[in-house]
Amino acid sequence: MEELIKKIKGSIPLSLEAEEYLIAISREKVFPKGSILIRQGQSVDKVYFVKSGCVRSYCIDKNGKEHTLQFAIKSWWISDYIAIHNNESATLNVECLKESCIIEFNAKTLDGVLTLFPEYEPFQRNILERHIVSLYKRILNQLQLTASESYDLFLKQYPDIEQYTRNYHIASYLGITQESLSRIRVEKAKK
Amino acid sequence: MKALQIVKYGEIVESLAFNEISKPTVQANDVLIEIKAAAINPIDNSIILGNLQRMIPIPFPSTIAYDVSGIVVEKGEEVSDFQIGDLVYSRVPQEQMGTLAEYVAVTSAAVSKKPGNISFEEAASIPLAGLTALQTLEYAGIKENDKVLIHAGSGGVGSFAIQYAKAKGAYVYTTTSTANVNWVKELGADRVIDYKTEDYKTIVKDADIVFDTLGGNYSSEAFEVIKQGGKVVSIVGPLDEEIAKMFGMADYKLPEALAQLCSAKEASYKFIFMHPNGAHLNLIKTLIEDETIKPIIDKVYSFSESIEACIHLASGRAKGKIVIKIN
């Protein structure tokens, strides 16, 4: 939790009371590889801050195939925000791709911080804005970039991620087939 | 729930019927799978015809088929490695046969999570053929640079076996008919032999392993192409003594001619009876997720077309697997 507090303090002034409150409502936990944090169809009440490790959110289509929506590495937040915002059951699965140290918060309790400690609001807003920017970029990249360019960008954004992801996780994130991904990798290796 | 059942031995159309039966109940070690897709295999046809009634007696009526993919909707109190909502696939054990239905209860030891990168239909096509190929080639001790002959490369078992043998680094010969030569080559086979125009016995020499998927003369002919000390593994040829004993035939002896062929070449002959195994399916899951192995599907039928699917299977002309979409 220390790291997250440091991160918050790096962007906003945080009172001691607010700091103590955030520590009190958080729970730090190490999840082994393969742990499922959120399961499609079940209720969702938590948001997760990744202290270390790698977490993936994905949906399963009606044919049973997985499609990766997001990877969360060090200092990223992840949850099923659709489920939380609309108070619905989860449409996503969230799983740890390697052993991950996670700080979890109850979504409603974390929201309560804003009422109790308004100084926290810019930090929360910044997280949301970063999320929106990241989603916009993802859509724009899909529209504008070639598969090879998307892959380059992906590796820049998530360095070393290939060590603990499977090809189909990345291919489905980029919206390309596994064969295309293999082809791109072979071409890159030639260069 | 709706289920396709065998009501007597004989011709497909007269022996199968759709019946309304009760949903299976789970035992302590079972998961209940809501079936999304099922697949049929040559063994289903043999069961319907009554060819296996001595080895596998079937009470009537019984729901048929062994391959399944679907979602875990219930589990017994002893099951800890699966959760409700898990997407799974399985070759169900004999005593739990019946995947042409809306639900099946399966011991969790025979179940694995399904590969994440393929559909339910593709996943259902894998278990029986995949386990047969894996267990047969592993029994034969397949290793890098082995020369392996796999008969009927376009069949369900053959198409999987080619890919598995290539993944192990073997040199693969396979036989198939003219129409299938090209796509079988694409599976990775090094030498595809068109049995309509070529004689495999003049092409294959000193094979380390012959995978006999055809039986009949092919079981004995294998010894013409096997190397001294090689291994013939069969899934349809004569039983060996160990397997016969397993099925209660204590006095069974390997046919004399075959025994002589074995000793002349100091080779071994083994009949492989596939056994359900969730851990092996989990291994296959990884190979599929890495696209080392791809499912090969001939045709997907709807549940109501299951009898037509069985007729197609019986024709023996399927390229890859026949799948039935249940839900």
HEC profile of B187-233: CCCCEEEECCCCCHHHHCCCEEEEEECCCCHHHHHHHHHEEEEEEEE
Inter-chain residue contact B121 with A42, CB threshold 8 Å: no
A166 CB within 8 Å of a chain B CB? yes
- Confidence class of residue A190 from pLDDT cuts 50, 70 and 90? confident
Mean of all residue pLDDT scores within chain A: 94
Beta bridge partners of B17: B5
Instruction: Pick from A168, A177, A180 the residue to mutate for testing the B interface (most B CBs within 10 Å).
Output: A168
The dihedral through the CA atoms of B27, B31, B34, B36 has a sign that is negative
Mean pLDDT of A105-123: 93
Residues 75-134 in A contacting B (C-alpha not used; CB under 8 Å): none
Confidence label for A2 from pLDDT (cuts 50, 70 and 90):
confident
Coil/strand/helix, residue B100: coil
Mean pLDDT of A154-164: 90
Contact between chains at B117 and A168 (C-beta distance less than 8 A): yes
Residue A90 has pLDDT above 90, yes or no: yes
List the single residue in A with minimal CA-CA distance to B120.
Answer: A64
**Residue bearing the bigger pLDDT, A119 or A1:** A119
Q: Which of residues 37-56 of B touch A (CB under 8 A)?
A: none
Per-residue DSSP letter, B170: -
B65 in A contact zone (CB under 8 Å): no
Question: Which DSSP category does B304 fall into?
Answer: G
Q: Note the pLDDT of residue A48.
A: 97
Q: What is the pTM of this model?
A: 0.91
The residue in chain A having the minimum alpha-carbon distance to the alpha carbon of residue B86 is A39
Who among A39, A60, A178 is closest to B291 (CB)?
A: A178
Whether B215 and B194 have beta carbons less than 8 Å apart is answered as no
Chain A residue closest in CA terms to B326: A63
β pairing state of B321-325 and B297-302? parallel
HEC readout, chain A? CHHHHHHHHHHCCCCHHHHHHHHHHEEEEEECCCCEEECCCCCCCEEEEEEECCEEEEEECCCCCEEEEEEECCCCEECCHHHHHHCCCCCCEEEECCCEEEEEEEHHHHHHHHHHCHHHHHHHHHHHHHHHHHHHHHHHHHHHCCHHHHHHHHHHHCCCHHHCCCHHHHHHHHCCCHHHHHHHHHHHHHC
* B164, B224 contact by CB (below 8 A): no
CA dist., res. A130 & res. B184, Å (int): 49
> Residue B33 burial by CB count (10 A; 0-12/13-18/19+): exposed, middle or buried?
buried
Q: Quick one: pLDDT at residue B316?
A: 83
A63–B83 CB contact, under 8 Å: no
- Mark yes or no for CB contact B120/A168 under 8 Å: no
Cβ contacts of A144 within 8 Å, gap of 6 or more: none
pLDDT 10s digit of each residue in chain B, 327 long? 999 999 999 999 999 999 999 999 999 999 999 999 999 999 999 999 999 898 889 999 999 999 999 999 999 999 999 999 999 999 999 999 999 999 999 999 999 999 999 999 999 999 999 999 999 999 999 999 999 999 999 999 999 999 999 999 999 999 999 999 999 999 999 999 999 999 999 999 999 999 999 999 999 999 999 999 999 999 999 999 999 998 888 899 999 999 999 999 999 999 999 999 999 999 999 999 999 999 999 999 999 999 999 999 999 888 889 999 998
Where are any strands of DSSP class E within chain B?
2-6, 16-20, 30-40, 62-63, 67-75, 87-91, 103-107, 111-113, 147-150, 171-176, 191-194, 207-212, 226-234, 268-271, 297-302, 321-325
- Which residue bears the tokens 């003219």? B178
Instruction: Give the minimum alpha-carbon distance from A157 to chain B in angstroms, rounded to a whole number.
Output: 23
Chain B residues whose beta carbon lies within 8 Å of the beta carbon of residue A172: 117
Pairwise CA distance, residues B162 & B182, whole Å:
14
CA angle B81, B87, B91 (to 5 degrees): 80
